[in-house]
Structure 1
Amino acid sequence: MNTFIEITGLNIELLIFLTIDITIAIILLCAMRFISGLSAKVNSTDELAKEDNFAFGISVAGSVAALGIVLTGAITGENADSYLMEIVGMASYGILGLILIKVGRVFHDRFALNQIDKNAQIKARNISVGIVDAAGAIATAIIIRAVLLWVYGLDINTFAAIIAGFIVSQAMLVLVTRIKEHQYAKNNQNSCMQNAFAEGQVALAIRYAGQVISTALAVTAASHFLTYSPETLLANIVGWFVFGMVMTILVAILTSIAKRLVLMGINLVEEVDHQHNVGVACVEMAISISIALILTALMS
């Protein structure tokens, strides 16, 4: 065994830290599945396996992926001073991330998509609403992860910064939703985008998913320009919001240009809004996320 460790360069202490992190992560991911069932007031096993509710499965998948994203922010690559501190740190960040993802879902329901009952729609097997719900959770997680990597330490200031970052994320998602609703109404004789989701327009939901996820990626760019300090936390959070708005506008402009070039000759309103062309919507989503990823990488 010692020879193997010497040859591979493995470190027993590092393996123990890795085991601790992976074990806690798997426990939390399992918990997320059952908590998703409780929040939707259904039996997750029955809904996934017996009822074959694809919409619920997509929603749960979004929540699980979101928690995984948050946990990557809790694992910074630096081990704690002791195994106990590693357990406390990983579990604390993980549980807080799980709670914020679920709270974010409630916030998204009440303020962003306040004209539809997402739980009822998902129980009714509405796949478009399941996609929208999953996208909201993932977008929230992307920003929480960025804040986790931005802060340091494990104290009240750290948790205050994480919660503040969460509030910023929800504000940005509400703002983007309102902008997209206005655009949809303008292009569709004042029709309501939320009603379109309720009617099961999957293509529209896919496009919206790309828009909110790209917005979240744009907001995270602020972490590369602002230095975390407990003494200037309020100013930093305001900076996150302002910088996030600027980046969101920049991503929206560049994405619009990219879509016109990549999808040249295609009427996006006609194809996605009217003909519900899922293929075109997927390309739109890919362009939105790609532009946001490229821009944030250039900013880092």
Structure 2
Amino acid sequence: MNSFIELAGVNQDLLVYLAIDVSIAILLLGAMRFLSGLSAKVNSTQELAKEDNFAFGISVAGSVLALGIVLTGAITGEAASSYMMEVIGMLAYGGYGLVLIKVGRIIHDKIALQHLDKNALIIEKNLTIGIIDAAGAVATAIIIRAVLLWVDGLDLSTFIAITSGFFVAQTMLVIVTRLREQQYAKNNQEDCLQEALSNGQLALAIRYSGQVISTALAVTAASHFLTYSPETLVVNLLGWLVFGIGMTLLVALLTAIAKRIVLWGINLVEEVDQQHNIGVASIEMATSIAIALILTALMA
């Protein structure tokens, strides 16, 4: 075994750090399921296995995936000065990421989609709300991960930077949601997007999921151009906001062009808004995320 480790060029200390990170990650992922139940004030086992509540399962799946994304930002790949510091760092970043996912959900519920009682609708097995809840959690996690990778160190200023960057990005998600609501109302005789979602229009949920995730990816691109410094934090955050707005507009423009090409000859308003065509909505979602991924990769 030792000869294999030497052949692979991996020292035993690195394996210990790996074991610490993976163990803590698995424990946090396991905790997320039960925290989701506590948050919704239900027994997660009852909802998943006895009630067969698919909406709740999708919501929990989104939470677990979101935490996994956040943890990739907490695990930098660089070993800490000691095993204890590795444990503290992983727990601190992972635990704080878990808290921010919950805060992001509250913002999404109370501000972005303020007319929906998501917890109640998920317990009522509304698949549409389960999907947008999962998408919101994933979008929040993408943002948290970017900020975790952007900052440096483990002190009070680091957590202030993480929190500030998080709220800047959440502001962008709320703005995009408002714009999408206006667009939906314009295309559908002033109908309400949130009401349509609560009525279970799955195609709209799929499209909306692509929009919020692509927005999160667009906003994170700013981290490649701004250097973290506690002394210039306010300037950096303003730069993040301005750059995020620009990237979001660029992604929206390129996505609109790409959709016209990918879905040439298809009336998207008629197919998705009115006929609830899940297939077309899925292509819309994939196109939105693909354009955002391409742009962020180019920026990196």
Instruction: Say whether the fold is shared (TM-score over 0.5).
Output: yes
Measure how far apart 1:45 and its partner are.
0.7
TM-score, normalised relative to structure 1: 0.99
Aligned to 2:87: 87
Q: What is the identity, as a one-letter code, of the residue corresponding to 2:88? A: V
1:180 matched to which residue of 2?
A: 180
Query: Where in structure 2 are the equivalents of 1:79-158 lying within 5 Å?
Result: 79-158=79-158
Counterpart Cα distance in 1 of 2:37 and 2:256: 38
**TM-score calculated relative to the size of structure 2:** 0.99
Give the C-alpha shift of residue 165 in structure 1.
1.4
CA-to-aligned-CA distance 1:157-209 (integer Å, 9 cap, x gap): 11001101110121111101000000000000000000011000010000000
Counterpart CA distance in 1 for 2:210 and 2:22 is 29
Residue 65 of structure 1 aligns with an amino acid whose one-letter code is L
1:218 is displaced (CA, Å) by 0.3
Kindly, what percent of the aligned residue pairs are identical?
A: 72
Q: Within 5 Å, which residues of 2 pair with 1:148-297?
A: 148-297=148-297
List per-residue Cα deviations over 1:80-109 (Å, max 9, x = no partner): 010000000000000000001011111111
For residues 231-252 of structure 1, the C-alpha deviation after alignment (integer angstroms, 9 at most, x for no partner) is: 0111111111111011000000
CA distance in structure 1 between the aligned counterparts of 2:2 and 2:78, rounded to whole angstroms? 24
- The answer to whether structure 1 residue 55 and structure 2 residue 55 are counterparts is yes
Q: Following the alignment from structure 1 to structure 2, what is the Cα–Cα distance between the partners of residues 95 and 2? A: 34
Q: CA deviation at 1:230?
A: 0.3
Distance 2:224 2:266 in 1: 37
What is the alpha-carbon distance in structure 2 between the residues aligned to residue 275 and residue 86 of structure 1? 52
CA root-mean-square deviation: 0.7
Aligned length: 300
CA distance in 2 between partners of 1:2 and 1:34 (Å): 39
Q: Deviations over 1:258-285 (max 9, x none)?
A: 0001100000001101111111001000
Structure 2 unaligned blocks of 5 or more: none
Tell me how far apart the structure 1 counterparts of residues 298 and 8 of structure 2 sit (CA, whole Å). Answer: 35
**Secondary structure of the equivalent of 1:266?**
coil
Amino acid at match of 2:236: N
Partner of residue 13, structure 1: 13
Cα distance in 2 for residues equivalent to 1:151 and 1:251: 25
1:42 Cα deviation after fit: 0.5
Shift of 1:4: 2.4
After superposing the two structures, state which structure 1 stretch, 60-69 or 4-13, moved more.
Answer: 4-13
Counterpart residue number, 2:25: 25
